[in-house]
Structure 1
Amino acid sequence: MKAARRPEVRLPELTAWEGGELEADGDYDGLEFADLDLTGQGGGGARFMDCALRRCVLDEAGLGKARFLDSLLDGVRGVGTGLAGASLRDVELVDARLGGVQMHGAVLERVVVRGGKIDYLNLREARLRDVVFEGCVLVEPDFAGAVLERVEFRDCVLRGADFGGVRMSDVDLRGVAELTPARGLEGLAGAVISPAQLLDLAPAMAAQLGLRVLP
């Protein structure tokens, strides 16, 4: 079992962002976005390098294909944030409160998601490598068709996940509470689970195999 490599985010001295709205394909380097309402703003294809987003509102923000590199997202919140095809590398996402985040086709590498709650996270066809979910609550996340390599779930709630067509390698699910996949039980191949989790999954596995369990 190979452990995930965690990011080492060391931000330089940051400059407060005093610009207007985000720009598509914008280039943001060494900036701090704090307590801003970015609702509906369009930063598709933008590049955030050595940046911090703190307590920002991201409702319906359009950040498709944006790149977050060596950055911190702390206390962000929003519904319907668009991050399809985005790239996150060496990023920490801390205490987020998000719902309906669209991250299908995204690439996450050396990312830690710590604390907070994310509802209906769409990671269909995404690629996750060296990603750690730690102390967070994920409600009905959609991993269908995703590739997960060296991904760890530590002290997490993972409720009603879709693992249909997922490919896993060195994925540690032993720290998950309520491991009850809504779909795609076969997608757990390649993951590591605990004996207690195996017992919890036994009824679903028997049903999938067409087994009848009688006294």
Structure 2
Amino acid sequence: MVRRAAGRAGGPGRAGGPVKGARRPEVRLPPLEPHEGSALEPDGDYDGLEFRERDFAGQDGGGARFMDCALTGCALDETRLHHARVLDSVLTGVRGVGTDLAESALRDVELVDARLGGVQLHGSVLERVLIRGGKIDYLNLRRARLKDVVFEGCVLVEPDFGGARLERVEFVDCVVKGADLTAATLVDVDLRRAAELDVARGVDRMAGAVISPAQLLDLAPVLAAALGVRVLGEVGEI
């Protein structure tokens, strides 16, 4: 069961208007039963279950539905969850490389202290999702749709938002290294509280985002390069 919190309005956004804050999920799980099965099943239906310290490496749960579930300390190396639906659930301390969640749907989900690499979420839909703590390397969100998503206190290394649509997305106290925004669409994206912000590609797609004055100075070199502006010293200056 989920109760949804209203987002906060921030400072001025596009055209001087207020920034629409993301609505965070507030997941309240019912009493859970431990999952007794030995493996995930394609198109499996998991409702009100707790998965604790399970090793799902290499398993196929494509098309599965997880509702009112808790996954704690589970291994997801090369786990296939293509077209999965994760609803009203909490994932804590999950870890793995190459987890395939392509074209999945995540709604009212909390992902806490994850350690993931090469996660495939391209073409997925994320709505009211909180990603808090942990580190995710090479997160693939190409052509995904993110609405009311908060990245908080986490480290994102080379996240790929190519062709994605981000609406009411916040980055809070997190480190973003080498982000790719190529062909992305941003609406009410608040980057001001990111602890570190590095955009490797697609800086020209940042219309619709809000940054701080300090971040503007940090991004000046890539903004100048995107505009084809050369920055030189005064004539005769060494």
- The alignment's TM-score, normalised by the length of structure 2, stands at 0.89
Q: Does the Cα contact within 8 Å between 2:204 and 2:226 map onto a contact in 1?
A: no
Residue 165 of structure 2 corresponds to 147
Residue 143 of structure 2 corresponds to 125
CA deviation vs aligned residue, 1:164-207 (integer Å, no higher than 9, x gap)? 00100000001123322111111211000000000111111112
Question: SS state of the match for residue 212, structure 1?
Answer: coil
CA distance in 2, matches of 1:91, 1:151: 14
Please, which of 99, 110, 135 is the counterpart of residue 117 of structure 2?
A: 99
Q: How many residues align?
A: 215
CA distance in 1, matches of 2:223, 2:126: 30
| Percentage identity across paired residues of the two chains | 72
Residue 161 of structure 1 corresponds to 179
Structure 2 residues not aligned, in runs of 5+:
1-18, 234-238
Deviation at 1:214, TM superposition (A): 2.2
Please, which of 54, 64, 80 is the counterpart of residue 62 of structure 1?
A: 80
CA deviation vs aligned residue, 1:113-171 (integer Å, no higher than 9, x gap)? 00000000000000000000000000000000000000000000000010000100000
Correspondence 1:1-215 to 2 at 5 A? 1-215=19-233
Residue 4 of structure 2 corresponds to none
Q: Does the Cα contact within 8 Å between 2:84 and 2:105 map onto a contact in 1?
A: yes
Structure 1 residues not aligned, in runs of 5+:
none
CA distance in 2, matches of 1:173, 1:139: 16
CA distance in 2, matches of 1:143, 1:212: 27
Q: Does the Cα contact within 8 Å between 2:42 and 2:64 map onto a contact in 1?
A: yes
CA distance in 1, matches of 2:150, 2:230: 37
Aligned CA RMSD, in angstroms, stands at 0.7
Dislocated runs of 4+, deviation >4 Å? none
